[in-house]
Chain A
Amino acid sequence: MTDRKYRVLVAKPGLDGHDRGAKVVAAALRDAGFEVIYTGLHQTPEQIVSTAVQEDVDVVALSILSGAHMTLFPKVLDLLEEEGLDDVLVTGGGIIPEDDIEKLEQRGVGKLFGPGTDTSEAVDYIRTWCEEHRGDGAGRE
């Protein structure tokens, strides 16, 4: 476990076909030394959680530009909890209005990033979270 890289699942839930942002963030995380698993498009919350379990990830990062975030984020959280993965960070980005961000954060979702965010900001956030929650030797470059 000591030389294991932090593992991040970048996922596209729902029917949303916009993957430009997800791919850019996935590449930035990989370049920053993370182990990145990208699901591809049109994933159900069940598929995403099943991948999260199989891949034993530390972080699930959802990209949603379809307006379905109030349905999809809570669903992924619930399913992760059912699988006993309530210590996994669920974060993400897309087109999500401010007041929805507040509601989702109260629900247990981590930081959410909007349009125009530097990838370094998201990368730094995920790295800091991992260092704080995944402790010692796990996954630094």
Chain B
Amino acid sequence: MSTVEQEAEPEAAADEAEGAPEREALEEEVRRKRRELAELERELEEWDEEYDDVPKRDANFTSVSGREVQPLHTPLDLEEADFDYREDLGFPGEYPFTRGPYRSMYRTKLWTMRQFSGFATAEETNERYKYLLDQGQTGLSVAFDFPTLMGYDSDSGRAEGEVGKVGVAISSLADMETLFDGIPLDEVSVSMTINGPAMMLYCFLLAAAEKQGVPHEEVRGTIQNDVLKEFMAQHAWIFPPEPALKIVADTFEWSSRNAPKFHPISISGYHIREAGATAAQELAYTLKNGFTYVEKGLERGLDVDDFAPRLSFFWDVHNDFFEEIAKFRAARRIWARHMREEYGAEDPRSLRLRTHAQTAGVTLTAQQPHNNIVRVAYQAMAAVLGGTQSLHTNAMDETLALPTEETARIALRTQQILAHETGVPNSIDPLAGSYYVESLTDELEQEAEEIFEEIDQIGGVVEGIRSGYFQQQIADSSRRHQQEVESGERTIVGVNDFQVEEDTSIDILKIGEDAGRTQERRLAELRERRDDARVREALDRLREAAEEDENLMPPTLEAVRAYATLGELRQTLEDVYGRFQEPVGF
């Protein structure tokens, strides 16, 4: 409509005489369209009246995020939102990328089926990776244990009882070499969920690639490296926000010059959502974190188009099917608009948001765990309709333990069925133009913009983290959801309705204490074997670089090559930067 109106503006006609018949035709067209819409509006009112008289189910007609959902959407919704195809959607692979980051989407390449996996020691996980690759998985995604996520060695006192439990234990380059033994790092892309100590693990990976004879510029993969959302939601932090952001900028700078195929960050909404945020909060906090990283890169003196093309994202895929699809689409549009208009990016690769997605772990139930297969399948379909570039589907037993080989295979097969049997990937962004989906996309964009303003008002992301603003907002949303479930207002099948008496428990994978003992022994051997003087020298150099505010990638890489351990690297930098103190509240 807006385009039609613009064209009908009287001053638009430069040559009055010559343009007159054409303009008349246009004006007639506008009048006709207005009449049609007015007619539609009258009809809708009538429909509404009759609809009101029909009895309704006693059910909750709001989205998972608490959004009121109208019973019907029509062209009038698009009209109200000033919907303009070219401006709001465009074509796939073109600004504002609402319909997808790539021109041909899944007709050229299906999304990468990237199952997050890791447990016990590097040897055991290496075997699982080879199994998964053998089963047709197309990329790897490393799950680390808590000591590794927090930057502690497996033999640290703080690691007691935690080694290898929720992921694989990696304490040095030696472990990383074992993890990728027989897996060529120039062919298989590796994504690593690591944040506080992301730079250290990145250097472990680069050094392991060196050992395979793979140069840095050929290494493909991603480190999560999104420290801002750690403070907000995921909580595997080490340093306070300022030095943590400095290290992130170091990885951007170093990667843009040395590892062009590597993504030095995956800006993640997943954990924010899992901690309890609504869809709009996930969208807004994550994108705002993304803009904050862009600002850090610019402050470093980098050209936006030198590093923005390597930024990538990671969304949660929750239960509310259409809201989730709209979230993916809105995210691409918001990112493109802000990157171009606010940060002056020109390279289309800086404007197009590419994303990984994972089905929502928080929606899995311990009750009747087989039902989780169905939840995951719907969520996976939403992610693909939303245009994701890679996807992890949760295994049905992940609310109880790490997946067994069998449940991990079913999770992968869920994606393969979606890819090869349903026909869903055949048409690009097939829900575009849906009155409902476009209205939702628009609403989510508007809500995100409102939240951006709120964050600016409280002084930006870092200030919001320090004051506990994000943490409180997320906790409040989480509590609202819990209350809805407990009051029965929101149905969770098998939990607060449709329960069964019989035992539906399943066999689960249990990780014993062996991994801890193996790691302790291995670390002792490593400390025995390596050249301690070289390690000490390299760590001193790292400390000096931190004190002098140099880029920490080169000295870290050097220390890693000397087999300095994760805990040693952490301690060296913690001595300079200190440790984050959480604002505690609930």
Contacts and interface: CB of A to CB of B under 8 A. Distances in A.
Nearest to A96: B400
B510 interface: yes
A137 interface: no
A53 interface: no
Interface string A13-40: 0111111101110110010000010111
Interface of B: 146-147, 149-150, 152, 158-162, 165-166, 234-236, 274-276, 362, 365-367, 399-401, 475, 478-479, 482, 486, 492, 495, 505, 508, 510-511, 582, 584-586
A20 B165 contact: no
Interface in A87-141: 95, 97-98, 114-116, 118-120
A26 B584 CA distance: 12
Nearest to B276: A20
Nearest to A73: B161
A62 B573 CA distance: 31
A115 B147 CA distance: 24
6 contacts: A18-B235, A68-B160, A71-B161, A115-B400, A116-B365, A119-B482
A116 B582 contact: no
A26 B161 CA distance: 25
B510 A71 contact: no
B146 to A, nearest CB: 4
A115 B486 contact: no
Interface of A: 10, 14-20, 22-24, 26-27, 30, 36, 38-42, 44, 66-68, 70-72, 95, 97-98, 114-116, 118-120
B402 to A, nearest CB: 8
Nearest to B119: A67
Contacts of B475: 20, 23, 27
Contacts of B166: 66-67
Given A15-B147, A116-B366, A66 B162 contact: yes
B400 A120 contact: no
A17 B366 CA distance: 20
A116 B166 CA distance: 20
A99 B216 CA distance: 47
Nearest to A10: B586
B198 to A, nearest CB: 15
A9 B478 CA distance: 21
A115 B479 contact: no
Nearest to B234: A17
Contacts of A118: 486
Given A14-B161, A20-B274, A95 B400 contact: yes
A23 B479 CA distance: 8
Contact of A15 (B162, B274, B366, B505): B162
Contacts of B365: 115-116
A22 B585 CA distance: 11
Contacts of B479: 23-24, 27
A80 to B, nearest CB: 17
A66 B511 CA distance: 11
Nearest to B581: A40
A25 to B, nearest CB: 9
Nearest to B582: A40
Contacts of B584: 38-40
Nearest to B230: A17
B274 to A, nearest CB: 7
Contacts of A116: 365-367, 492, 495
Contacts of A67: 162, 165-166, 401, 511
Nearest to A71: B161
Nearest to A29: B586
Contact of A19 (B152, B235, B399, B400): B235
| Residues of B contacting A: mostly | loop
Contacts of A38: 584-586
Which 10 pairs between the two chains have the least Cβ-Cβ distance? A71-B161, A17-B235, A67-B165, A40-B584, A15-B146, A68-B161, A23-B586, A115-B366, A26-B586, A68-B162
A66 B165 contact: yes
A24 to B, nearest CB: 5
Contacts of A17: 146, 149, 234-236
Contacts of A36: 586
A95 B399 contact: yes
Contacts of A44: 158
A64 to B, nearest CB: 10
A19 B585 CA distance: 11
A21 to B, nearest CB: 9
Contacts of A119: 482, 486
A20 B582 contact: no
Given A26-B586, A68-B161, A68-B162, A41 B508 contact: no
B457 to A, nearest CB: 25
B398 to A, nearest CB: 9
B510 A24 contact: no
Nearest to B486: A118
Nearest to B148: A15
B437 to A, nearest CB: 29
Contact of A72 (B161, B495, B585): B161
A68 B165 contact: yes
Contacts of A16: 146
A14 B364 CA distance: 24
A18 B511 CA distance: 19
Given A14-B146, A15-B158, A119-B486, A41 B582 contact: yes
A51 B232 CA distance: 25
Contacts of B492: 116
B475 to A, nearest CB: 5
A67 B146 CA distance: 10
